[in-house]
Amino acid sequence: MTVLHLADETEAADLAAFLSRLLHYDRGAAVRLQATGTALAVFGRPPSFEVLAVRAVRLAKPYENGLDLTLDVTVSAGELLESIDEAAATAVVPSAVTGPPWAGLLPPRGGWRTEPGLPAPDALHAMVAAAVAEFRSRTQELAPERRTRAELDRIGREIWSRTVGDTNLPVRAVHAAQSLGFLRPTQTAGNPALFSSGAWLRLRTPYGSIAVRRAGLGALDVTVR
């Protein structure tokens, strides 16, 4: 049994909240865990957003399981959530599960450079609110015979594929960041920033980052780092 010692109770509560959000969208969600030293990354894929999401978690002491100095395993999100002891700030790593395809498709670790043109946090929140309102308005106006899954998906793709400000970042990436708790109403820990590396763009916030593959460069639309 591998026990992770989280930095404190707050870190444990934040991890539990992130896993709960993932399970809200997919009760059978799996997550990929990667730990080196005192840093743990928890990757998940909420299907409603077609994103890969990651929550960075601080550990109280460097990960070490015998002679294994790194952890890289895919597990059940539900089992990991159940194992978290917030008072003790610990979590037990569940047994490995067969990894879904997204678990092997992550953006690069390095080579990121700053990209200009990202609007201020207030503008990002307003952009997501306007997009949600537009989607609801347009779908509610559809005649009953036209309110099909295909038509709803078409409207959604049109709205969420629009770009943010003067960047190539799709609006759906900001929506995912907000819904997963990465983009918060009050950014007390710092403002979000945009970076690029090769085929990827990354929206980074103090609570998590969302990376998207540039248009036309692959079938995987969005991932998070």
DSSP 3-state of 182: coil
2-104: CATH number? 3.10.150.10
Please, what sign has the CA dihedral across residues 218, 127, 180, 63? positive
Q: Which of 18-22, 159-163, 206-210, 213-217 has the lowest mean pLDDT?
A: 213-217
32 beta partners: 43, 74
Which tens digit of pLDDT belongs to each residue from 64-112? 776 678 899 999 999 999 999 999 999 999 999 998 888 888 878 889 9
Rounded-to-10 torsion of CA 207, 39, 223, 198: 110
Annotated domain spans of the chain? 2-104, 113-192
Which tens digit of pLDDT belongs to each residue from 137-186? 999 999 999 999 999 999 999 999 999 999 999 998 899 999 998 988 76
Q: Which of 113-122, 195-204, 211-220 has the lowest mean pLDDT?
A: 211-220
Q: What is the DSSP string of 127-166?
A: HHHHHHHHHHHHHHTS-GGG--HHHHHHHHHHHHTSBPTT
pTM of the model: 0.85
The residue to which tokens 């610990």 are assigned: 90
State residue 189's pLDDT score. Answer: 67
